Structure 1
């Protein structure tokens, strides 16, 4: 059984998600200890439990330690099967973080997998649904993945209640991802979403105005998407995607009580301008999200520095025997699995 120290690096949930995914893909049982030891509330949280339970269903596996607050989990995978799976992450638990765990597994099923996840679609400390759809998914498609994605309902903090639908076909035609330069900036697309309760205050429109004020003098904002949605909680989100010749860079921010809508868009603008000034081809969060796929299919990505999540993914890939490495300002995998 492979042993993974969950306190590695920042000691967060990324080590758990990646370890379970690689366990299912390699067929190697894993014991993850000291889970989330680096957090103020260590151990398994409800959204981690839901991700593990979904992974177990996808790969017909067995596990011990599946309870809230557990600091150790033993995960034994079985065969990955196609079919339909409904995952209720609960309240505003992040559906995109659960996807980070189960999507690589679903891509290796023996047939089509249909997923419906309910919970938070636009919540703190996780990629927004629009970031997944318009920034992450295009990179997956370049690597040969066939994934369909729809937001059925939006879920904001604290009640959540959002729903996404994801359809995944077996990943048969793997293509390496070679991203060393972003290339020319072709345009910027923005996705501003707010709950219906915020329509009269034009929150979605004001978020766009705050973004354009900072970005328009420097770059062409080619696509502006404003949307008001029904939601169980009042909330808003703003996602911007810079489409480059060779890659994409995305950022997402959330509306908060007491923060002007214009400042929500302005914060996204400030972050995106910083990312565009960085010569690397991907934003800092995309690097860690795409790394498991580089481990599986091969490729290289230029990156001046690694986030805590990226370091966790690099370590877990190494433990499971994938030749992923970081040297001379780039992440490499020369061997295809």
Structure 2
């Protein structure tokens, strides 16, 4: 193929991780544009395609019957020429603790533009470092996507933690005719603060209880009259084979804002410290009255760029992940993002979406 037909994306830009690759390939599939991604994960200790990114790349190849060059481990350049998005049941077996949610992050926007409903079953890690935990996808991403008229159903059949993985999830996606513009600018009033503190394997339930009590105590210290309901859970052997622990907290407001904060236990887990860390992070979002948390920013960029109309989100300081996502979206779609700093330091991010329509339904 003539090199001029490819949109070339620099994978070393800013964040220099997998974000540029994920978003470029997703938009390539949706728009039918061939893309070349160079310097893949150039800023990581082991540059090039990791196993996780390779699984996601090959999944999108299968979904669109794409022609691919460079889909091998540690490849630094990939050329991807998509065909038509095909609705189907797809399965990915990573055989590692590779993040299930990051694989879903690549495929979900694509399957929203399929002709009929699709199912994606992935085995790997549900709760691992450097990736959103599966609870975040269920409790924070889902309500945020509803602002764009999109939805999904995610079932956790088994939880999987580092290093063994062996988690299993099922994602069901109904296609959309178009994406509505998202308006996430008004915080409203707090409706609820809730969460889940979990542990699994040989770890005692006391770890989950420590996370719960510490997080609730900190919320009550900051807002004495605010109820905070965190459920401590010890996953059964059937739900999780191996050791793991973590906590997710969310705040829901009267303006349909949903913000989340999470932490994952590692060696020598201190449940009290984890609970304190997450409640302080969530408390910061509440005090600042942002409408999109730091980990949701970058995930919404692709939907904003494709929507029919002008989308706006009020958030905190932009992460490098978000700036990378904006850079890729602007190159792939031709839209222009506007970023303004408010007097209180909040960032207002907006764009007139491409207005992409699903031609398969």
Q: Equivalent residue of 1:166, what SS?
A: strand
- Provide the residue aligned with 1:214 in structure 2: 218
Contact 1:182–1:282 (Cα < 8 Å) also in 2: no
State the Cα deviation string for residues 42-70 of structure 1 (Å, max 9, x = none).
10000000000111111111211111111
- Provide the residue aligned with 1:268 in structure 2: 278
Shift, 1:224, TM fit: 2.5
Contact 2:89–2:120 (Cα < 8 Å) also in 1: yes
Shift, 1:212, TM fit: 1.1
Q: Summarize the alignment of residues 250-261 of structure 1 with structure 2, pairs less than 5 Å apart.
A: 250-261=260-271
Among 125, 128, 140, the residue aligned to 2:130: 125
C-alpha RMSD over aligned residues: 1.4
- Provide the residue aligned with 2:110 in structure 1: 105
- Number of positions where the alignment pairs a residue of Structure 1 with one of Structure 2: 336
Shift, 1:214, TM fit: 0.8
Shift, 1:222, TM fit: 4.3
Q: Is residue 132 of structure 2 the alignment partner of residue 114 of structure 1?
A: no
Contact 1:93–1:160 (Cα < 8 Å) also in 2: yes
Shift, 1:272, TM fit: 1.0
Contact 2:120–2:172 (Cα < 8 Å) also in 1: yes
Compare 29-38 and 173-182 and name the one that shifted more. Answer: 173-182
- Provide the residue aligned with 1:325 in structure 2: 337
- Provide the residue aligned with 1:243 in structure 2: 252
List gaps (5 residues or longer) in structure 1: none
Among 274, 290, 293, the residue aligned to 2:303: 293
TM-score (norm 1): 0.96
Determine the C-alpha separation between the residues in 2 that align with 1:310 and 1:319.
Answer: 14
- Provide the residue aligned with 1:279 in structure 2: 289
- Provide the residue aligned with 2:176 in structure 1: 171
Contact 1:324–1:331 (Cα < 8 Å) also in 2: no
TM-score (norm 2): 0.90
Q: Summarize the alignment of residues 145-224 of structure 1 with structure 2, pairs less than 5 Å apart.
A: 145-172=150-177, 174-199=179-204, 201-219=205-223, 220-224=226-230
Q: Is residue 244 of structure 2 the alignment partner of residue 226 of structure 1?
A: no
Shift, 1:40, TM fit: 1.3
Shift, 1:173, TM fit: 5.2
Among 302, 308, 316, the residue aligned to 2:320: 308
Determine the C-alpha separation between the residues in 1 that align with 2:305 and 2:336.
Answer: 6
Determine the C-alpha separation between the residues in 2 that align with 1:24 and 1:259.
Answer: 41
Determine the C-alpha separation between the residues in 2 that align with 1:227 and 1:324.
Answer: 44
Shift, 1:333, TM fit: 1.8
- Provide the residue aligned with 2:40 in structure 1: 35
State the Cα deviation string for residues 153-194 of structure 1 (Å, max 9, x = none).
000111011111110011125321111122111111111111
Contact 1:158–1:233 (Cα < 8 Å) also in 2: no
Determine the C-alpha separation between the residues in 1 that align with 2:38 and 2:249.
Answer: 37
Contact 1:92–1:157 (Cα < 8 Å) also in 2: yes
Determine the C-alpha separation between the residues in 2 that align with 1:279 and 1:212.
Answer: 20
Determine the C-alpha separation between the residues in 2 that align with 1:34 and 1:14.
Answer: 12
Determine the C-alpha separation between the residues in 2 that align with 1:275 and 1:128.
Answer: 19
Contact 1:146–1:169 (Cα < 8 Å) also in 2: yes
- Provide the residue aligned with 1:334 in structure 2: 352
- Provide the residue aligned with 2:343 in structure 1: none
